[in-house]
Every structure is written in structure tokens, then in C-alpha cells.
Amino acid sequence: MRITKHLVNLHERIRGACAEAGRNENEVSVLAVSKRHDATAVAAAHAAGLSAMGENYLQEALQKMPRCPDSITWHFIGRLQSNKTRAVAEHFDWVQTVSSRKVAERLSRQRPVGREPLQVCVQIQTDAGGEHGGVRPDSAAALCALIDELPNMQLRGLMTIPAPADSLVEQRAPLRECAQLYSDLQAEGFALDTLSMGMSADLEAAVLEGSTLLRIGTAIFGPRMP
């Protein structure tokens, strides 16, 4: 019941942001960020109509997945180190945080035979200090081109995690940078259809800047478990 109520409020926020942006609400999808929430909460979110879950922490996700509905699409959205690529390639459907040639090549090589291609977003660095990781915008095209050529991978788009900001104007600036890069790469011929931007605190800014996929945790599940 709590998740259902939260989803009503969430969709009201999305609807309002889409109206302000002159966009159709159907253009914006929601990825439920289920980190630090147990399998019961995931099942409740799935029952409420959410079919895609995002996990930041590999070991937590691997323990949780067998207890969750089989039809869930799993996105890895955490910092991806080389020693984690095999498990991610084996268990996830999407990886949104690819930011290096080495990681991309390992994911491609380690994707199990017979599985659908791994759906990939390139993470773009939009915070000056690079705290959240990602590839610099001027290196994105080269990485996208590499992923396009790798077997067992399908390039889908870009994602970013900007530094927190208080005002709508400050929130929009780095998101606009990523959105412009997304448009530029499409113009160069890359078949991108996913712009993963925006979380519970800045979803309005993300919708205004063209996000197609919001990564929402607190606004769906409430505060995270310790």
C-alpha cells in the first residue's frame, strides 16, 4: 500500500514536469532503485507495475535476485570495477555505468553464450571532481563506437550522476550538458534511445532536460534500510 501511494505521488510529479516541458508522460520511464531494500519490497514494487530494478551493490543484488520475480529486468547502476564485470555480465540485463574500454571489453567477453546482448549505457562525467565516475564528454564518442563494435553488447544511451544541487537552475545545468551530448551523438549516427538522468531529488530538472529514464529510489520505497 505504501509503495502504491508513493507511485501515485511520483507520477503526479512526472506528469507535472512533462506538462511544463511540453512532453508526453509516456516518453519517460521509471527505473526503481532497489538498493538497500529487501526482496519483499522489490516484489511489492513489481506487483505495483514496476518491471525494472536498479542495483548499485553487486553482492547485495546477487543475494536478492533469486528471491525476486523472474520477470524483473535488472540494471546495474553502481561503480563498476574490473573484478566485478563477470558477475555483472552473467546476472544483469543492463549496465548503465560503462566508462572505460577495459570494462566494456570484459563485459562483452564475459557475457554468457545464449543470453541476450547486454544493454549498455555510457556513464558521462558531469561533476567537476568526477566523484561519481564516468567518461569525460569529449571521450564519449570513442567509447560509444567501441561498444557498437563489440559482440554481446547493445549500445542504448547515456547516463549521468551530477553533483547534488539545491535549485532547479543548478540542477538543470549538468543535465543539459549530458542531454546535448546525447543529441550530438545521435546526429553522428549512434542509435541511442535512452537518456538515464534524474533521481528522486531532481527528477523535475531531468524531465525538463529530456530524460527518458528516471532512476528513482526514495520516492518509491521510502528511506533506505541501514
pLDDT digit of tens for each residue in the chain (226 aa)?
589 999 999 999 999 999 999 999 999 999 999 999 999 999 999 999 999 999 999 999 999 999 999 999 999 999 999 999 999 999 999 999 999 999 999 999 999 999 999 999 999 999 876 678 899 999 999 999 999 999 999 999 999 999 999 999 999 999 999 999 999 999 999 999 999 999 999 999 999 999 999 999 999 998 876 5
Provide the 10 A C-beta neighbour count for residue 204.
Answer: 19
Q: Which residue has the cell 532497489?
A: 34
Which one, of 221, 220, 186, lies nearest residue 210 by Cα?
186
Helix (H) or strand (E) holding 41: helix 39-47
Q: How far apart are CA 170 and CA 187, in angstroms?
A: 27
- Of how many residues is the chain composed? 226
CATH topology of domain 2-221: TIM Barrel (3.20.20)
Which one, of 31, 15, 41, 28, lies nearest residue 221 by Cα?
41
Q: How far apart are CA 29 and CA 73, in angstroms?
A: 13
- Please report the pLDDT score of residue 176 as a whole number: 98
Cα-Cα end-to-end distance for the chain: 22
Q: How far apart are CA 119 and CA 107, in angstroms?
A: 11
Global pTM value: 0.96
What is the dihedral angle through the alpha carbons of 9, 13, 19, 23, rounded to the nearest 10 degrees? -100
Instruction: Identify the three-state secondary structure at position 191.
Output: coil
- The phi-psi region of residue 79 (left if phi > 0; otherwise alpha if psi is between -120 and 50; otherwise beta) is beta
- Please report the pLDDT score of residue 131 as a whole number: 77
Q: How far apart are CA 208 and CA 42, in angstroms?
A: 28
Cell numbers given for 77: 547502476
Domain ranges of the chain: 2-221
Q: Write the DSSP symbol of residue 49.
A: T
- Please report the pLDDT score of residue 225 as a whole number: 61
- Please report the pLDDT score of residue 219 as a whole number: 97
- Please report the pLDDT score of residue 127 as a whole number: 81
- Please report the pLDDT score of residue 226 as a whole number: 55
Q: How far apart are CA 8 and CA 207, in angstroms?
A: 17
